[in-house]
Amino acid sequence: MDHKNSQSASYAAAGVDITAGYRAVELMKKHIARTKNEGCLDDVGGFGGCFGLPVAGMEEPVLVSGTDGVGTKLRIAQLLDKHDTIGIDCVAMCVNDVICCGARPLFFLDYIACGRNVPERIAEIVGGVAEGCVQSGSALIGGETAEHPGMMPVDDYDLAGFSVGIVDKKKIIDNTRMRAGDVVIALASTGVHSNGFSLVRKVFDVEHNENLKEPVEALGGKSVLETLLTPTRIYVKSILALLEQVDVKGISHITGGGFYENVPRSIPDGLCARIQKSSVRVLPIFKLIAETGNIPERDMFNTFNMGVGMSVVVPAEQVQTALDILNGHGETAYVIGEIVENEEKVILA
C-alpha cells in the first residue's frame, strides 16, 4: 500500500507519528512471512486477519482460544535494551494454555502499546512473536501497534496476544477419566518464564542494582538479568506428538500461582496430585531468588514454576512411552508424582 500521502503534522505534534507505524509494518513483514501456514488467506495490513479452518477428518471441530501478556518481565527487556525474545514469551503464554485442552494452535494476533513508535524496536518485538509462532506452528495473521503519548513514557511499551486453536470435540482432554495410580510427569521449564516478575524485581531491586548485569557462576556464567530474560518454553509440538500415542488425562501449564494454583486445574474432584518435592529439579535461578529474598519454600512453589513449565498426567503403564516421546522431542521430562484419592487436589510432600 502506498502511504506517501498519509501524514499529519498536527497528529505528530500531539505525539503520534503515523508514518512510523507504516515503517514498522514494512520492517515486520519479513518476520510474519516465516509464520505462514496452510490456513493463511491474505497478507498483513487489512482490517482483519483471514484464516481457513483445517477441519478435514474432524467430526465436531471446536475452537479453543487463549489470551495473555508478558507482565512485568517487559521491564527486564527494557533494562537490557533487548527486545527480540520477549515476543516468544507472549506467544508461549497463550499457546501453552491452548494446548492444555489438546488443541493445535492455528493463528496468533499481537497488540503492542508504546509511548513512542520506534519502527526498528517494534520490528524486533514482532520478530520474537514470529519466532514463537514458528515454534508453535501458528500463523501470525495480524496485530496492532498503538502510540500512547502522555500515558506511557516514550521508551515504554506493553505487549499482549491472542491465540486460536482447534481440536475435535472427542479429543478434548477429559480429566474425568483420571484415576488413582495415574502418574504425573514434569516438563522442564527454561527459567522463570513470564510469571512472578513483580516479586523478582522487588527481590533483586532491578531498577538500582547494577551488579545484575555481571556474570554469576551459579547461573552458568550468565548475569541475573540475562537469565531472567530467557524466553518461555513452548511445549506445543511435543505435546501434540504425545497426544498421538498416549492417553493423556490432564495437562497443567505452570504459570502465576505456581504448583498450588495450576496443578489443581487439571485434577477432578476427589483426586489429588501428590508431588514429591525432592523429585522437582529446581533451577538455580529459583534458589537464588529464594536466598536473596528470604522467601519461604511454600511461597516459592505458590508463585513460580520452580523448573517445571508443564505437567501431564498419564496412565502408569504408559509412563515410559510418554517419557520417550517427550524427551525425543527435545523436552526434559521426568516423573514427579502420582494421582491419589484425596480432596486436597495437590499435595507437595
Q: Cβ atoms within 10 A of the Cβ of 214, count?
A: 10
Tell me the one-letter amino acid at 261. Answer: E
| CB proximity list for 5: less than 8 A, separation 6 or greater | none
* CA-closest candidate to residue 349, choices 258, 247, 277: 277
Which class in CATH covers the domain with range 175-348?
Answer: alpha beta
The tens-digit pLDDT sequence of the chain (349 residues) is 445 555 666 556 556 666 766 677 787 788 878 888 888 876 655 678 889 999 999 999 999 999 999 999 999 999 999 999 999 999 999 999 999 999 999 999 999 999 999 999 999 999 999 999 999 999 999 999 999 999 999 999 999 999 999 999 999 999 999 999 999 999 999 999 999 999 999 999 999 999 999 999 999 999 999 999 999 999 999 999 999 999 999 999 999 999 999 999 999 999 999 999 999 999 999 999 999 999 999 999 999 999 999 999 999 999 999 999 999 999 999 999 999 999 999 999 9
Q: Are 179 and 101 in contact (CB under 8 A)?
A: no
What is the SS3 assignment for 142? strand
The CATH homologous superfamily for domain 12-48+57-171 is: PurM-like, N-terminal domain (3.30.1330.10)
Radius of gyration in angstroms for the set of CA atoms belonging to the chain, rounded to a whole number? 21
Q: Given the C-alpha cell 484464516, which residue does it identify?
A: 51
Please, what is the Cα angle at 134 between 133 and 136, to 5 degrees? 65
Q: What is the mean pLDDT of the chain?
A: 93
92-114 per-position pLDDT tens digit: 999 999 999 999 999 999 999 99
**What are the start-end ranges of the E strands in 79-201?**
104-114, 139-147, 157-168, 183-188
* CA-closest candidate to residue 248, choices 301, 163, 323, 152: 323
299-338 per-position pLDDT tens digit: 999 999 999 999 999 999 999 999 999 999 999 999 999 9
The x, y and z cell numbers of residue 16, run together, are 503520534
- Sign of the alpha-carbon dihedral angle for 76, 77, 79, 82: positive
Q: Are 246 and 105 in contact (CB under 8 A)?
A: no
18-51 per-position pLDDT tens digit: 676 667 778 778 887 888 888 887 665 567 888 9
pLDDT for the residue numbered 49: 83
Q: Are 340 and 272 in contact (CB under 8 A)?
A: yes
The x, y and z cell numbers of residue 220, run together, are 552458568
* CA-closest candidate to residue 195, choices 65, 72, 67: 72
Show me where the domains of the chain are located. 12-48+57-171, 175-348
Torsion-angle region of 296 (φ positive above 0: left; ψ -120 to 50: alpha; else: beta): beta
Query: CA 255 → CA 32, 98, 115, 144, 319, distances in Å?
Result: 27, 13, 28, 26, 24
3-state helix, strand, coil in the chain (%, to 5): 40, 25, 35
